[in-house]
C-alpha cells in the first residue's frame, strides 16, 4: 500500500473580491469558498495539510488556453457598467473590475499546487477556488467562468512539466464544454464528462456532448434522467471510466469538483430535476481514483450553490482524498435505467477505439445471452431537441443583447417563507444523520455493477419514461419563452431580441 503524502490545498481571500455588484441574486458568490474553507478548518481536515502560497497567474500561463485578446479585454474593464456591457456578448457571464485578478489568483495558485504535487512535495490536493472555469475556453468566458483553471493546469502539466498523459474527470452538474473545447482531440488528455443532457434540452444545447462525441479523447456520460445518485455514478465509474482510464494510464488525475450535482443542491430552481449525489459519494469517487493513482489526484472546485450541501460535499471529498473513513454507499437493487442505457451506448461507441471498452462490452453481451436476453443494439437514431435553442442563444450573443441579471427566478415559496430551502436542508440533514461508518471495506466493485446492467425488452420504454419529466421541464421552459414576445428566461429577453431582429431587417 502506497503511503499517503501530505495533503495540499489552495485558498486565498483575494478570490472573494470577485462579486456581482449589479445583481445580488447570483448563486456563484464569494461565500461559497469561505464556507468551504471554514468547514474544512472546523472538521480538522487542514491541520496537517500544506497550504500553497497564492499568486496571480502571468499572461504566458493564461495563454496556454486563452487568447491575448480576452486577457486584454478583461484588464480594460475598470467600472461595473463596463463589466456588465461586456457580458452582454456572452452566455451567463457576470464580472466586476476585480474579477480578472481573482481569476489570476485561482489559476496561478492552482498551477503551483500542481507543481508541488509533481515535485513530490504534496499528494492529493484540493483547490478551493473561484471563479470556476470548466465552461470557459479560448476567448469565450461563460456560465460564471472566466479562465479554465483545470484546462490550463492540464496543459501546464504536459507542456511545462513534461507529463505524458493527464486524466480529467468532470462531475459537475453542467457540461464541461469549455474543458472539452480546450482539450478536444489532444490525445495527451482523456476527458470524462458527466453532465445533465436531457436529449439536448439542457444547456449548452449541443449534440456534440452526447455519448457519441466526435472527439477522440472524450468519454461523455450524458444524463438524460434526473436524480442519478452516488450508486449510479459509481456504476459508470466502475464499468466504463476506470477501465478506459487504466488503459490510458495517466500520470495525473484532475477532478472538476462540481457540487451542483449533489442531492438537493439545485432545489432553488430545479426541484427534483437535478441530480442526487449524496455528499459522501464525492468522497468515494476521490477514494476510488486514489486507489488506482495514489497521491496523484487533484480536485478543483467548480459549481455548487446550496451552502448546507456544498460544505458537506467538500468535507467528504477531502476525506476521500486524504484516505479518511467514509460513510458507506448503500447498495441498490438496480441502477438508474437511463444511466444503464448511457453506459451501454458509450461502451458500444468507444469499443471501436478502446480495447478495455470492447472487453467490457463483450462481458455485458455475454451476460445478456446467459440470461436469454437479446444482445444490446444502440439506437439507430438519436433524440436531440436543443437545435433551435442553440441557434437562439447564438443569435443573442451575435447581437450582444444577453440578459445580465436575475437569471434564476426564486419562486414565491422560497421568497415568502423559505419552505423549499428548508425542505432541501432537512433532506440533506436527514441523510447525514443516517451515515453508516460500520464497515470501511470497499464492497462496491466492478462485478457489483455488471450484474445490474441487464437490458430487457422493456428497458428502452422504461428509460424513455424516466427521462421524460426532466427533459420536458427544460424543453418547456425554453419553448414557452420563445412563444411569448414579452418573456425573459436566463439570457433571453424576447422583446429585446425581436427589436434587434427588426432593426437588422430594415
Q: What is the mean pLDDT of residues 126-130?
A: 99
Q: What is the mean pLDDT of residues 263-288?
A: 87
Would the pLDDT of 1 be above 80?
no
Q: What is the mean pLDDT of residues 417-425?
A: 81
Instruction: Give the pLDDT of residue 409.
Output: 64
The model's confidence at residue 413, banded by pLDDT at 50, 70 and 90, is very low
The model's confidence at residue 220, banded by pLDDT at 50, 70 and 90, is very high
Q: How far apart are CA 46 and CA 184, in angstroms?
A: 35
Q: Which of 153, 151, 176, 154 is nearest to 165 (CA)?
A: 154
Instruction: Give the pLDDT of residue 412.
Output: 45
Instruction: Give the pLDDT of residue 419.
Output: 79
H helix or E strand, kind and range, residue 489: strand 488-489
Q: What is the mean pLDDT of residues 65-82?
A: 98
Would the pLDDT of 433 be above 70?
yes
Residues 230, 331, 444, CA angle at the centre, nearest 5°?
75
Would the pLDDT of 195 be above 70?
yes
Would the pLDDT of 480 be above 50?
yes
Sign, Cα dihedral of 156, 161, 164, 170: negative
Would the pLDDT of 441 be above 70?
no
Instruction: Give the pLDDT of residue 298.
Output: 99
Q: How far apart are CA 327 and CA 477, in angstroms?
A: 37
Q: Report the mean per-residue pLDDT for the chain.
A: 95
Output the nine-digit C-alpha cell for 363: 462481458
Instruction: Give the pLDDT of residue 442.
Output: 65
Instruction: Give the pLDDT of residue 410.
Output: 56
Q: How far apart are CA 275 and CA 267, in angstroms?
A: 10
Q: How far apart are CA 418 and CA 308, in angstroms?
A: 14
Could you give all domains of the chain from N- to C-terminal order, each with its CATH number? 8-413 (3.40.800.20)
Instruction: Give the pLDDT of residue 387.
Output: 97
Q: Which of 292, 321, 314, 326 is nearest to 50 (CA)?
A: 321
Amino acid at each position: 500500500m502506497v503511503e499517503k503524502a501530505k495533503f495540499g490545498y489552495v485558498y486565498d481571500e483575494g478570490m472573494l473580491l470577485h462579486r456581482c455588484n449589479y445583481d445580488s441574486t447570483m448563486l456563484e458568490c464569494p461565500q461559497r469558498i469561505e464556507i468551504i474553507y471554514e468547514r474544512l478548518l472546523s472538521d480538522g481536515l487542514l491541520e496537517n495539510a500544506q497550504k500553497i502560497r497564492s499568486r496571480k497567474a502571468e499572461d504566458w500561463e493564461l495563454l496556454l488556453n486563452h487568447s491575448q485578446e480576452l486577457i486584454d479585454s478583461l484588464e480594460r474593464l475598470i467600472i461595473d457598467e463596463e463589466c456588465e456591457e461586456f457580458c452582454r456578448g456572452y452566455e451567463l457571464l457576470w464580472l466586476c473590475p476585480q474579477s480578472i485578478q481573482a481569476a489570476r489568483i485561482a489559476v496561478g495558485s492552482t498551477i503551483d499546487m500542481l507543481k508541488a504535487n509533481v515535485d513530490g512535495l504534496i499528494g492529493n490536493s484540493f483547490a478551493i477556488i473561484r471563479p470556476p472555469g470548466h465552461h470557459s475556453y479560448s476567448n469565450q468566458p461563460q456560465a460564471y467562468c472566466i479562465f479554465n483553471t483545470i484546462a490550463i493546469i492540464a496543459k501546464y502539466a504536459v507542456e511545462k512539466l513534461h507529463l505524458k498523459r493527464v486524466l480529467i474527470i468532470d462531475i459537475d452538474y453542467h457540461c464541461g464544454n469549455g474543458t472539452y473545447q480546450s482539450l478536444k482531440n489532444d490525445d495527451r488528455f482523456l476527458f470524462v464528462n458527466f453532465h445533465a443532457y436531457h436529449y439536448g434540452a439542457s444547456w449548452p444545447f449541443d449534440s456534440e456532448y452526447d455519448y457519441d462525441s466526435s472527439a477522440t479523447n472524450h468519454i461523455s456520460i450524458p444524463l438524460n434522467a434526473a436524480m442519478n445518485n452516488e450508486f449510479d455514478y459509481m456504476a459508470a465509474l466502475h464499468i466504463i471510466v476506470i477501465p478506459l482510464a487504466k488503459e490510458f494510464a495517466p500520470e495525473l488525475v484532475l477532478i472538476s469538483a462540481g457540487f451542483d450535482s449533489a442531492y438537493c443542491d439545485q432545489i432553488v430552481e430545479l426541484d427534483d430535476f437535478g441530480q442526487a449525489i449524496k455528499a459522501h459519494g464525492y468522497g468515494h469517487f476521490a477514494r476510488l481514483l486514489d486507489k488506482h493513482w495514489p497521491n496523484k489526484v487533484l480536485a478543483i472546485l467548480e459549481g455548487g450553490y446550496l451552502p448546507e450541501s456544498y460544505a458537506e460535499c467538500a468535507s467528504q471529498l477531502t476525506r476521500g482524498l486524504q484516505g479518511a473513513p467514509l460513510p458507506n454507499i448503500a447498495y441498490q437493487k438496480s441502477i438508474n435505467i437511463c444511466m444503464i442505457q448511457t453506459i451501454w451506448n458509450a461502451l458500444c461507441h468507444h469499443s471501436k477505439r478502446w480495447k478495455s471498452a470492447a472487453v467490457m462490452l463483450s462481458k455485458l453481451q455475454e451476460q445478456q445471452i446467459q440470461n436469454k436476453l437479446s444482445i444490446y443494439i444502440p439506437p439507430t437514431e438519436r433524440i436531440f431537441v436543443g437545435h433551435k435553442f442553440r441557434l437562439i442563444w447564438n443569435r443573442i450573443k451575435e447581437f450582444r443583447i444577453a440578459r445580465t441579471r436575475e437569471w434564476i427566478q426564486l419562486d414565491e415559496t422560497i421568497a415568502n417563507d423559505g419552505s423549499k430551502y428548508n425542505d432541501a436542508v432537512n433532506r440533506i440533514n436527514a441523510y447525514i444523520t443516517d451515515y453508516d461508518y460500520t464497515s470501511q471495506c470497499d464492497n462496491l466493485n466492478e462485478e457489483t455493477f455488471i450484474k445490474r446492467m441487464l437490458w430487457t425488452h422493456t428497458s428502452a420504454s422504461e428509460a424513455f419514461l424516466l427521462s421524460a419529466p426532466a427533459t420536458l421541464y427544460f424543453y418547456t421552459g425554453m419553448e414557452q419563452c420563445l412563444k411569448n414576445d414579452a418573456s425573459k428566461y436566463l439570457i433571453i429577453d424576447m422583446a429585446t431580441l425581436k427589436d434587434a431582429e427588426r432593426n437588422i431587417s430594415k
